[in-house]
Amino acid sequence: MSRPEQSAEPKFVVTNTLIVGDIQRSVAFYRDVLGATVLREGEPTFLRLGNTWLTINVGGGPVCRTSTKLPRSSKQRNF
């Protein structure tokens, strides 16, 4: 089965945001291993892989969850 041309206009686009620790390493994987096209470098970096656009950015650090704890409703469930 042949791969569709990345230059062809897609009928729909899927977007995904990836939060990573190392943008350059992640970009190298998607570009070199999977064949993605880099659309914009920096923070964030945008890639195109077929009809999928990837936004790769670094995380904002740990979140303190104790300061925003809300009372548990009887209808809430943990999954």
Residues 64, 58 contacting (CB under 8 angstroms): no
18-41 in b/e burial notation, b at 16+ Cβ within 10 A?
Answer: eeeeebeebbeebeeeeebeeeee
Give pTM, 2 decimals: 0.63
Of the chain, the percentage scoring pLDDT greater than 90 comes to 53
Q: Which two tokens stand for residue 44?
A: 């964030």
Highest mean pLDDT among 2-16, 23-37, 46-60: 23-37
